[in-house]
Amino acid sequence: MEYQNVCLESFGYTLPEIVWSSDDIESRLAPLYERLRLPQGRLELITGISERRFWPEDTLPSGPSVQSGEKAIEVAGIDREEIGALIHAPVCRDHLEPATACAVHHNLGLPQSCMIFDISNACLGLLNGVLQLANMIELGQIKAGIVVGTEGSRQLVETTIEMLNKSETLTRGDIKTAIASLTIGSGSCAILLTHRSISKTQNKLLNGTVRAHTQHHQLCHSGKDESVGGGMQPLMETDSEQLMKEGIATGVATFQDFLAELDWTHDDIQRTFCHQVGSAHRKAMLDSLGLDHERDFATLQWLGNTGSVALPMTMAIGLESGFVQPNENIGMLGIGSGINCVMIAANWQKTLVSGGDTPALDAISAFGQQR
């Protein structure tokens, strides 16, 4: 997919204020650690994740999504009447129906002529939303659109801890499938796209490349869809080692197509932002793609894996910290369970980001620049 008329105009993001360190989680797992004689510090050692963040209990995704969307719209200075589509694209949602996009649309005060809907594709939802809006803009259907999402991880982490402590039969090997669930964090991000004729930034979206290796769809999955609500007790089962192996293979194949479609070499990419899983995955992915670690920005140590908002929120923080300079080419490299892959290229000119209003930002930015 090639684009001539689409700009990534602005970002808005919101970080939760509640912080759980990996040490905090291990303290809550004391019964399991004592029974299996697991060493303290194991979780951070094997994942590279020091902290993750949670929303207050009973927070619905639409709330932070409205905050992030408002930030993206305000920093762009766009007339809301020009926004012709809104997509809500995380895993988490307020209800089975109506679409969570309805609440977000209403509270953002967008026009009634605005097309709204939810999409979901695990950790790639927001990137899929970017491409959907880009197609609509390129076709001349809309002048501007916004994709937004909020992921909440608190129930998953708490349910996983409860399950691990309750079982008397789990072995060290058995708990491997639950480790990924303990890395999950919460966050919210919005991306505003515009036609170049009304863009103030001229951050040109160049290309989108996708690939689906769905023969591996069973490597990471939740239980049956019991959807949302106060009684939801989600659990995930993840074959982390095989998922990383096959995910990287999918990423390598997609990246080859990505470069070929753009007629680029590795040297044409000045900055990258990848899906944030863990330190081992990040190193293996960058090495497999032949990409310079110094050109990649990361937030996983402080935010964990925040699902569909991980890559765009990391990019927003990286942009806000000055990681990208004018006229640099950016690769947005996303991989999600399924296994699906989305890679997006952009040429950057001017940054419009709003969101860094928590004390965590300085530490996150410092980590990203240290890489």
Q: What is residue 227's predicted lDDT score, i.e. its pLDDT?
A: 47
Q: What is residue 371's predicted lDDT score, i.e. its pLDDT?
A: 42
Over 80: is that where the pLDDT of 365 sits? Answer: no
3.40.50.150, 3.40.50.1100, 3.40.47.10, 3.90.180.10: which CATH number matches 18-182? 3.40.47.10
Q: What is residue 170's predicted lDDT score, i.e. its pLDDT?
A: 87
Q: What is residue 247's predicted lDDT score, i.e. its pLDDT?
A: 78
% pLDDT > 70, the chain:
88
Q: What is residue 222's predicted lDDT score, i.e. its pLDDT?
A: 58
User: What pLDDT digit, counting tens, does each position of 72-105 carry?
Assistant: 999 999 999 999 999 999 999 999 899 999 999 9
How high does pLDDT run on average in the chain?
A: 90
Q: Is 261 part of the annotated catalytic residue set?
A: no
Fold adopted by 203-370: Peroxisomal Thiolase; Chain A, domain 1 (3.40.47)
Q: What is residue 130's predicted lDDT score, i.e. its pLDDT?
A: 98
SS3 sequence of the chain: CECCCEEEEEEEEECCCEEEEHHHHHHHCHHHHHHHCCCCCHHHHHHCCCEEEECCCCCCCHHHHHHHHHHHHHHHCCCHHHEEEEEECCCCCCCCCCCHHHHHHHHHCCCCCCEEEECCECECHHHHHHHHHHHHHHCCCCCEEEEEEEECCHHHHHHHHHHHHHCCCCCCCCCHHHHHHHHECCEEEEEEEEEHHHCCCCCEEEEEEEEECHHHCCCEEECCCCCCCCCCCCCEEECHHHHHHHHHHHHHHHHHHHHHHHCCCHHHCCEEEECCCCHHHHHHHHHHHCCCHHHEECCHHHHCECHHHHHHHHHHHHHHCCCCCCCCEEEEEEEECCCEEEEEEEECCCCCEECCCCCHHHHHHHHHHHC
Over 60: is that where the pLDDT of 354 sits? Answer: yes
User: What pLDDT digit, counting tens, does each position of 113-159 carry?
Assistant: 999 999 999 889 999 999 999 999 999 999 999 999 999 999 999 99
Q: Which one of the listed residues 123, 220, 274, 341 is annotated catalytic?
A: 123
Residue indicated by tokens 């999402």: 149
Q: Is 220 part of the annotated catalytic residue set?
A: no
List, by residue range, all CATH 3.40.47.10 domains of the chain. 18-182, 203-370
More confident position, 224 or 129:
129
Mode of pairing for the β-strands spanning 220-222 and 187-195 = unpaired
Mean pLDDT of 325-353: 94
Binned at pLDDT 50, 70 and 90, residue 238 comes out as low
Q: What is residue 230's predicted lDDT score, i.e. its pLDDT?
A: 42
More confident position, 291 or 370:
291
Mean pLDDT of 331-356: 92
User: What pLDDT digit, counting tens, does each position of 243-283 carry?
Assistant: 677 778 888 999 999 999 999 999 999 999 999 888 888 99
Question: 310-314, 348-352, 356-360: lowest mean pLDDT where?
Answer: 356-360
Q: What is residue 287's predicted lDDT score, i.e. its pLDDT?
A: 94
Q: Which one of the listed residues 17, 57, 81, 97 is annotated catalytic?
A: 97
Binned at pLDDT 50, 70 and 90, residue 232 comes out as very low
User: Residue 103 is which amino acid?
Assistant: A
How far is Cα of residue 253 from the mean position of the Cα atoms in its chain?
Answer: 21
Q: What is residue 224's predicted lDDT score, i.e. its pLDDT?
A: 54
Where residue 327 falls (left for φ over 0; alpha for ψ -120 to 50; beta otherwise) is left
Q: What is residue 370's predicted lDDT score, i.e. its pLDDT?
A: 47
Residue indicated by tokens 């930002």: 361
Over 90: is that where the pLDDT of 162 sits? Answer: yes
pTM of the model: 0.91
Residues 6+ apart with CB under 8 A from 102: 116
More confident position, 106 or 335:
106
